Structure 1
Amino acid sequence: MVDSLLGNGLLTMRIPIRVFVIGQCLQTERSALLQLKRGFTFFKLNTWIPGTNCCLWESVICDEWRVIGLDLRGQDIEGTIDPSLFNLTSLCTLDFSYNRFNGKSIPDSGWDQLANLSRLDLSNSGFVGKVPIGITRLTKLTVINLSFNYYEFKYLSFTIKPTFLQNMSSLRELYLDNVDLSTYGNEWCSALINSTMILEVLSMSGCSLFGFCPKQIFLLRNLRKLDISKNPKLYGSLPNFSVDNNLHFFVLSYTNFSGKLPDTIGNLKFLRQLDLSSCQFSGRLPPSMRNLSLLETLDLSNNNKLQGPIPGSLFQLSRLSLIFLASNNFSEVMELELIKDHKDLFSLDLSNNALSLSSWKANEGSSPSDYPRLAILALASCNLTKIPAFLKYHHNIGTLDLSNNKIHGEIPSWIWNIGN
């Protein structure tokens, strides 16, 4: 029946045919990219060829045949940035990080033409001088990274004022690590608090901030990462944290923050890294720290004034693999056996406290799987009287420090097998 209908033309079958049309990038944008390339004295991407489709070039991202992204990260580019860059008016992301513009300035004008730019990364590329005023007018920017690797670019720096932030109401991530701001922390913190309440990442390590830092900076509701470490002249204290805090990474090391750790620190339920090392904190560890169930790294070393017992509940945090509590004034007897069931513990440093560690007797016939997978164990100056017997079964330890204790008697022969 179907055959007869087909033969009589009474049944029509429609078969969809897909036609793929490969578009071309705009001639003006291809020319702009080639002119940009001419400004580089070293450029290793060999697909940037005149007469070809620039949307198919390496590191070029297009949408509907308009260039919306340039990802030139880590291409060892040398030279200067040609103003033709600003003819790419549809750019949303621009990444020049990890290149070699050593001592060159960022182009001073033209940034206003990149009104759609939302992500800008110029980190670790050796730019110097002032951050152009035009960048501060890019109101759609959500991510800015101007950080430096101090050891590679320690003689290079930007000049940035807190007014840089006044139009940045969309900003979610700000990275200024090792940028020499040399200004009052209060000015920057106040500018951040007043300019954007949706900030998720603030990384300003080693920025030469000094003076008082207001507590409100810790209370930005959307903040996931806060790192203002390595600003030794910056001081303040911690606030009472609310239950709706969203911090995942909290790093204050090598600052002059002081005071007691608030009991509300237990409200940081999403916290994965807490680094308050080399500060001036004092008092006892709050019992609420047992609520930090997602914590992976805890570094409270070198505060010198933290005291009292080390809560056994810390060793019940199953995800906590790195614990650094050295050089404080923790005291009382601590049972080493507390770590017995903490199988994922990788590094433990309790050195230079006023602790008295009790030895942990290992069961004969035990195997390494019965103990934590420690790779680093530092128990210097912990009033040990004998070498802990459980070490006999720790074949993964690469670093062991038992110095300045009260160990006496014969050294067991198995000690030489540790780490093998």
Structure 2
Amino acid sequence: MNLERLALSGCDMREFPIFLVTLHSLEFIDISNNKIKGKVPEWFWNLPRLFRVTFVNNSFTGFEGSAKVLENSSVRILDLAYNHFHGPIPNPPLSINLISVWNNSLTGNIPLSVFNRSSLVVLDLSYNNLTGPIPPCLSNSVTVVNLRKNNLEGSLPDMFYDSAFLRTLDVGYNQLTGKLPRSLLNCSSLRFISLDHNRMKDKFPFWLKALPDLQGLTLRSNKFYGPISPPDQDHLAFPKLRILEISDNNFTGSLPPNYFVKWKASSLQMIEDGRIYMGDYSNAYYLYEDTIDLQYKGLFMEQGKVLTSYATIDFSGNRLEGQIPESIGLLKALIALNLSNNAFTGHIPLSLENVTELESLDLSNNQLSGTIPKGLGSLSFLAYISVAHNQLKGEIPQGTQITGQPKSSFEGNAGLCGLPLQGSCFAPPTQQPQEEDEEEEEQVLNWKAVVIGYGPGLLPKWYVKIVGPDKQKKAVDPVRLFMSMDLRWESFTNKNSVENEM
């Protein structure tokens, strides 16, 4: 039989289809979303023309044969995600382009052969139980390395000397220690770095600003320390950074007034090549999109694709102090801002009323004083706000978005009154000290000076998807789509045209 393409997804199959042994022309096989148990038979990998194999969302537990059973297979695209594979990772096919085995129960060390396949483009071993160190070499063809949520130990190898194509590096939720390797500067295409929930100890990596396309940097829950203000200038100058998540570390110091001035049009505009989500690296064979954990609207939550602009800053859980820079108001496309659990003082910046896309604002557990700017009540998309446990006073601004907040968002401020709190704001008016009036006027003037110095042209939109920290993910995950081949396959008329695209 000359059948080349076979799609049996969602057919309630419970056993491996034995008839495949006769399909010597088979190139594409999709038996995802079934109930097949047991091991993949050894003979399957001997089919001479296999190109893409999709076994997603079954109950496979392993492979018949030795650890080298896959080595001589012709498979280029291997997607085994969301099964019950356990034991060590077998050596991959020699010509493999994509390996996806996320959300299984694989154990043991990562074989060196997995990292150094010369044609490897995407490697996703996330959500397993892999242990040991990360192999100290990496093929220069690799675009994506995702080792998230394993039990890997040791330091991140200084192995990125010939990694010009690397765009995504995600090693979050492991037990990595040491410093961030400086060889990452050789990854000129790098867009996304996730190191969250490890035990890495280093200073803030200002040197990463040399990466021209870096869009997302997450360092949450490590042991990073020291100031986050560059010692030689008063602003943070990452050309295209859209997400900076550095919460729950040991960062200290204050932020100068112009700290956010360089986060202008080039860092918040829509990606010019038309990509909808950060990290949607695709060709005719696969689609990969980055995942990122964010505390959003007061919760760690799992979200699918976010069809709005998305830029976020999370500095929470550090020891930052001083005033919140007025230049924060320049980030008109900012969706989420979390500065909670620090030691910020002074007033809430009046310029926040210019951040018209803001949906989530958390300034709780600081030492902020003065009143809540009335302009926050006019932010149409502000779905979550918390200023709890500060030293704020006066009337809570009234507006649809603010009056709908719970009392807990404003508690711990003895001087606050008005809805949703119980305190009345109708006491006889008292004369405010002249010093406070002058301070607020100076705040407005400083903000205007920043705007004039910055100039016009702040921009709109970009897109990102978010995934929460839970290990279990849905079988058909819109965020991590490796099964998007069906519609694309029809555009290829023969195998030669497919190979030319590689």
For 1:78-227, list aligned pairs within 5 A.
89-97=1-9, 100-102=10-12, 104-106=13-15, 108-123=17-32, 125-130=33-38, 133=41, 135-148=44-57, 157-163=59-65, 166=69, 168-182=72-86, 184-185=87-88, 188-189=89-90, 191-192=91-92, 196-227=93-124
Structure 2 residue 251 is the aligned partner of structure 1 residue 329: no
Residues 154-210 of structure 1: CA deviation (Å, up to 9, x unaligned): xx523432539726521222110111012x22xx33x43xxx321121111111112
Secondary structure at the aligned position of 1:111 is classed as helix
Alignment-mate amino acid for residue 142 of structure 1: F
Q: What is the distance in 2 between the residues matched to 1:136 and 1:347?
A: 42
Residue 106 of structure 1 deviates from its aligned partner by 4.8
Instruction: Check 1:355–1:136 CA distance in 2 against 1; reply closer, same or farther (3 A cut).
Output: same
Alignment-mate amino acid for residue 139 of structure 1: P
Residues 324-382 of structure 1: CA deviation (Å, up to 9, x unaligned): 11111111222166874434222110111111254132399x79846732711101123
Instruction: Check 1:279–1:363 CA distance in 2 against 1; reply closer, same or farther (3 A cut).
Output: closer
Alignment-mate amino acid for residue 77 of structure 2: E
Partner of 1:372: 267
Q: What is the distance in 2 between the residues matched to 1:227 and 1:362?
A: 39
For 1:3-402, list aligned pairs within 5 A.
89-97=1-9, 100-102=10-12, 104-106=13-15, 108-123=17-32, 125-130=33-38, 133=41, 135-148=44-57, 157-163=59-65, 166=69, 168-182=72-86, 184-185=87-88, 188-189=89-90, 191-192=91-92, 196-231=93-128, 233-241=129-137, 245-303=140-198, 305-335=199-229, 340-362=236-258, 369=264, 372-373=267-268, 375-385=311-321, 386-402=323-339
Q: What is the distance in 1 between the residues matched to 2:23 and 2:253?
A: 62
Query: Contact 1:108–1:132 at 8 Å: present in 2 too?
Result: no
Residues 381-411 of structure 1: CA deviation (Å, up to 9, x unaligned): 2322221222111111111110101011222
Q: What is the distance in 2 between the residues matched to 1:258 and 1:220?
A: 22
* Structure number with larger C-alpha Rg: 1
Q: What is the distance in 1 between the residues matched to 2:150 and 2:234?
A: 31
Instruction: Check 1:383–1:372 CA distance in 2 against 1; reply closer, same or farther (3 A cut).
Output: farther
Q: What is the distance in 1 between the residues matched to 2:7 and 2:17?
A: 17
Secondary structure at the aligned position of 2:209 is classed as helix
Normalising by structure 2, report the TM-score.
0.57
Query: Contact 1:106–1:131 at 8 Å: present in 2 too?
Result: no
Supply the RMSD in Å over aligned alpha carbons: 2.7
Secondary structure at the aligned position of 1:257 is classed as strand
Instruction: Check 1:292–1:338 CA distance in 2 against 1; reply closer, same or farther (3 A cut).
Output: farther
Secondary structure at the aligned position of 2:267 is classed as coil
Query: Contact 2:235–2:258 at 8 Å: present in 1 too?
Result: no
Query: Contact 2:251–2:320 at 8 Å: present in 1 too?
Result: no
Instruction: Check 1:294–1:157 CA distance in 2 against 1; reply closer, same or farther (3 A cut).
Output: same
Question: Tell me, which stretches of 5 or more residues in structure 1 are unaligned?
Answer: 1-88, 149-155
Secondary structure at the aligned position of 1:230 is classed as coil
Instruction: Check 1:107–1:181 CA distance in 2 against 1; reply closer, same or farther (3 A cut).
Output: closer
Structure number with greater CO (CA < 8 Å, separation at least 6) is: 2
Structure 2 residue 314 is the aligned partner of structure 1 residue 406: no
Query: Contact 2:236–2:259 at 8 Å: present in 1 too?
Result: no
Q: What is the distance in 1 between the residues matched to 2:168 and 2:44?
A: 32
Q: What is the distance in 2 between the residues matched to 1:213 and 1:405?
A: 39
Instruction: Check 1:367–1:219 CA distance in 2 against 1; reply closer, same or farther (3 A cut).
Output: closer
Instruction: Check 1:295–1:90 CA distance in 2 against 1; reply closer, same or farther (3 A cut).
Output: same
Alignment-mate amino acid for residue 210 of structure 2: Q
Normalising by structure 1, report the TM-score.
0.67
Instruction: Check 1:419–1:246 CA distance in 2 against 1; reply closer, same or farther (3 A cut).
Output: same
Secondary structure at the aligned position of 1:226 is classed as strand
Alignment-mate amino acid for residue 82 of structure 2: N
Instruction: Check 1:409–1:158 CA distance in 2 against 1; reply closer, same or farther (3 A cut).
Output: same
Residues 114-139 of structure 1: CA deviation (Å, up to 9, x unaligned): 1101121222x324234664634423
Q: What is the distance in 1 between the residues matched to 2:263 and 2:161?
A: 33
Which of the pair is proportionally richer in helix? Answer: 1
Count, aligned residues: 310
Residue identity over aligned pairs, in percent, reads: 25
Query: Contact 1:275–1:298 at 8 Å: present in 2 too?
Result: yes
Query: Contact 2:213–2:240 at 8 Å: present in 1 too?
Result: yes
Query: Contact 1:376–1:398 at 8 Å: present in 2 too?
Result: yes
Residue 291 of structure 1 deviates from its aligned partner by 1.2
Q: What is the distance in 2 between the residues matched to 1:287 and 1:410?
A: 38
